[in-house]
Structure 1
Amino acid sequence: MKLKILTVFFLTFFTLTAWSQDSVRFEPNRFNDFRLVPLPAIGSNPANGWLFGLAPSATWRMGDPSTTHLSNFVGNILYTTKNQWIFSSRSTIFLNEDRWILVGDWRYFITSQPTFGLGSSTPNEPTENPAQQGVLYGEQQMDFSWVRFYESILKRVGDSKFYLGVGYHLDVYSKIENFIDSELPTELRFSHDYYNETNGFNTERYSISGLSFNAVMENRDVAVSPYERNFGLISYRVNPEFLGSAQSSTTLTLDYRHYFPLNPKRKRHLIGLWGFGNFLVSGKLPYMALPSIGYDMFGRTGRGYAQGRFRGESMLYSEVEYRFPLQQSKDVFGGTVFVNAASFSSRGVNETLLSQINPGYGVGLRVMINKENRTTISADYGFGQSGNSGFYLNINESF
């Protein structure tokens, strides 16, 4: 494990050295301060194994720098050692004077992932669920394809920091197959299949299609790597059958982040707080659409656990991160220490929110490859309970 971590850091720094001096800058014409970093992606995390490919990142302004936030785009074209293909693009675009915000999250995955059942008490190793006789509990592998198209538009309210808007959201899961590498009795049913059959969903393909109604407070100084102030989101989503959902449902997402600089002269020295909640309000969601760790827009919740390690009808998540510069006067290198906690509810196993909490903690390294736009490479190692851990290599700060 130590050799693997050292290898990852070596490859990371080799990549950074090669590319940090060669980010592409376009002279201002239609866009101001446009910078593209065509970064090769070399990384590892528990859900995907080793990843190789491209992770282009871009920042620019759509108006006067004094009144317009930096827009940002992060893409991925990746192949993994678990034979997965990952194509994604995520963007936050601020139009002139921040009067409109466009938020996009597009994905196409041919992938696999372990699932462990519902709730916060699932074990690592597969076994029979004591609360659901005849149902598997613990690690169960899933192969599936996933298409996502999310796009939201938000209008600024007067000259305030508040925005109101709507969005369209589509997730399609298909070619779903379950299997385990275990000698457990074959008559035990997979958690995914049992939940879907019990709740009237197909076990091989399903979709969720709906509209969201959103209220946002955008008060961060730079959205990709904030030094101060705060951000808030309330999103109520309606997924009716007539728009293509397998069953009708409504959900509520709450997201709040606050940044406290500890040194006015070195604002990179700060404490960041993050609170996140995702709740099934009414109706039913198919298994893979239920709230889960690591399924926020940029996949940053739950460092210390694999994506999808915990899942339930509702989730609560919180994180505290201490960020600090590693150089006396320069801002190229920085570090971080973080702790987090998550909790999931599940009616099927009679678990309520906060009845069980899954903590995580870890350390990280930051390399700022563009000081003006704060484009940053983040490398973190996180630890969870019961032997869970993972390495995470990403573009920009975790939140």
Structure 2
Amino acid sequence: MMKSVLLWGLLFTSGFGLSAQTDSLTYSPNKVHQFSFVPLPAIASNPANGWMFGLAPSASWYMGNPKDTKLSNLVGNLLYTTKKQWILSSRHTIFLSGNKTILVGDWRYFITSQPTFGLGSSTPNELQSNPNQPGVFWGEQQMDFRLFRFYESLLKKINDSPFYLGVGYHLDIHSRIENFQELTGLPQLYSHDAYNLSKGFDLDRYTLSGISLNAVMEKRDMAVSPYERNFAWIQYKINPEFLGSSQSSSTLLLDYRHYFTLNPLRKRHLLAVWGMGNFLVSGNLPYMNLPAIGWDMFGRSGRGYAQGRFRGENMVYGEAEWRFPLQKQKDTFGATVFVNAASFSGAKPESAAGPTLEQERLFEKINPGYGLGLRLMINKQKRTTITADYAFGQKGNSGFYLNINETF
């Protein structure tokens, strides 16, 4: 189990973030308003990367009149590890003036490593032979790889409704993929290699390039840390070979979030629920592009498990979180209690050369997680919040999570 511990300079960060804030007192067209920048210093450690040092900045601002324009947000990471690895990312949700257009982006460049455990919800923690695939490993298998990601979507508002339609472009390039594990006994294939051989993908490099059709309902009062209402997102992604994909495929993403106010006088006291489904509709995906825990846009799903702990051709995920203030009047300090659950399918058998893959269906096994956390709000107006959570999963899996803004 890969555990991560993030240690941030909270006192330094809180003070610096507030002093770095610049607010516009009056509205002027064609001007960015109430810009706030929080340059969080970060120190992190986990077995896969060693120690990591760098910055985890966050910015929020208004692209129009705050009276009719939602708050835009950007979060990033710039981290270097003692194993000479780099983790760079930038993710944003930008609302243009009057909320008429939304830009959603996810840009990453990783030189990193991560364990994989095989496909489906039943994979064990320890390395062993897969009883359903003779000659193939099951359990923790370390991988080195590089990832270049460029996702950008543009959504246009439909009249005065909360509904948006739009298109996006999505590019993932995985390269320099290497499996490493001390091999004992008879020669066996890694899960990654066995799957890619059965589907006809290269073992060390592959590309997924495609366009998406997106439908969004945006009713949240604030996208960064909502107090009320709901959000829905349907994305159908088409990855044709003529756009550069290693093989043609299509996927469907369903994402719904609802926020129930429990106390109208203290809107920070609420119940938040999140449901997500990610499905392979046609064709084949490379191994590292299959739906996996912790690989949503902000990497927030599956607290209690390491990123990539579960992976499969189809994924269903649900989470509920009770958020509440810890002070009678102020909103500076808060807490949360949460539960989550995920289920993954295996892979469809192929007639092509290579190991036979055993199909595991959705909901044959469910992997739950649960935990609690503390909240420190460093900017009440923009709800900029530092979150610290500890979560538990099954079979000894657990993790500590320190982030900027609410989990969802």
8 Å CA contact 1:45, 1:392 repeated in 2: no
**Partner amino acid, structure 2, of 1:373:** K
Equivalent residue of 1:25, what SS? coil
Equivalent residue of 2:407, what SS? coil
Q: 2:31 matched to 1:22?
A: no
Write the deviation string for residues 197-248 of structure 1: whole angstroms up to 9, x where unpaired: 1110000000000000000001000101000000000000000000000000
Greater CA drift, 41-50 or 273-282 = 41-50
Deviation at 1:328, TM superposition (A): 1.3
Instruction: Supply the distance in 2 between the matched residues of 1:205 and 1:359 (Cα, whole angstroms).
Output: 33
Instruction: Supply the distance in 1 between the matched residues of 2:51 and 2:266 (Cα, whole angstroms).
Output: 35
Q: What is the match of residue 73 of structure 1?
A: 74
- Partner residue of 1:13 out of 10, 13, 24: 10
Q: What is the match of residue 316 of structure 1?
A: 316
Q: What is the match of residue 112 of structure 1?
A: 113
Identity of aligned residues (%): 66
8 Å CA contact 2:9, 2:40 repeated in 1: no
Deviation at 1:41, TM superposition (A): 1.9
Equivalent residue of 1:320, what SS? strand
8 Å CA contact 1:46, 1:305 repeated in 2: no
- Partner residue of 2:385 out of 356, 370, 376: 376
**Partner amino acid, structure 1, of 2:312:** G
Instruction: Supply the distance in 1 between the matched residues of 2:149 and 2:195 (Cα, whole angstroms).
Output: 22
Superposition map of 1:248-327 within 5 A = 248-327=248-327
8 Å CA contact 2:73, 2:94 repeated in 1: yes
Equivalent residue of 1:192, what SS? helix
Q: What is the match of residue 210 of structure 1?
A: 210
Q: What is the match of residue 331 of structure 1?
A: 331
Deviation at 1:66, TM superposition (A): 1.4
Q: 2:347 matched to 1:350?
A: no
Indicate how the Cα distance of structure 1 residues 359 and 59 shifts in structure 2: closer, same or farther if over 3 A, else same.
same
Write the deviation string for residues 137-176 of structure 1: whole angstroms up to 9, x where unpaired: 0000000000000000000000000000000000000000
Instruction: Supply the distance in 2 between the matched residues of 1:363 and 1:341 (Cα, whole angstroms).
Output: 15
Deviation at 1:51, TM superposition (A): 3.3
Write the deviation string for residues 239-274 of structure 1: whole angstroms up to 9, x where unpaired: 000000000000000000000011111100100000
Equivalent residue of 1:329, what SS? coil
Indicate how the Cα distance of structure 1 residues 260 and 155 shifts in structure 2: closer, same or farther if over 3 A, else same.
same
Structure 1 unaligned blocks of 5 or more: none
Instruction: Supply the distance in 1 between the matched residues of 2:20 and 2:122 (Cα, whole angstroms).
Output: 45
**Number of matched pairs:** 392
Instruction: Supply the distance in 2 between the matched residues of 1:164 and 1:13 (Cα, whole angstroms).
Output: 39
Deviation at 1:47, TM superposition (A): 5.8
Q: What is the match of residue 399 of structure 2?
A: 390
Alignment TM-score, normalising by the size of structure 1: 0.95
Deviation at 1:50, TM superposition (A): 4.4
Instruction: Supply the distance in 1 between the matched residues of 2:394 and 2:50 (Cα, whole angstroms).
Output: 20
8 Å CA contact 2:88, 2:110 repeated in 1: yes
Deviation at 1:39, TM superposition (A): 1.5
Indicate how the Cα distance of structure 1 residues 145 and 153 shifts in structure 2: closer, same or farther if over 3 A, else same.
same
Instruction: Supply the distance in 2 between the matched residues of 1:52 and 1:363 (Cα, whole angstroms).
Output: 26
Structure 2 unaligned blocks of 5 or more: 348-356
Indicate how the Cα distance of structure 1 residues 232 and 326 shifts in structure 2: closer, same or farther if over 3 A, else same.
same
Indicate how the Cα distance of structure 1 residues 213 and 394 shifts in structure 2: closer, same or farther if over 3 A, else same.
same
Instruction: Supply the distance in 2 between the matched residues of 1:156 and 1:99 (Cα, whole angstroms).
Output: 5
8 Å CA contact 1:221, 1:227 repeated in 2: yes
Task: Please provide the CA RMSD for this pair.
Answer: 1.7
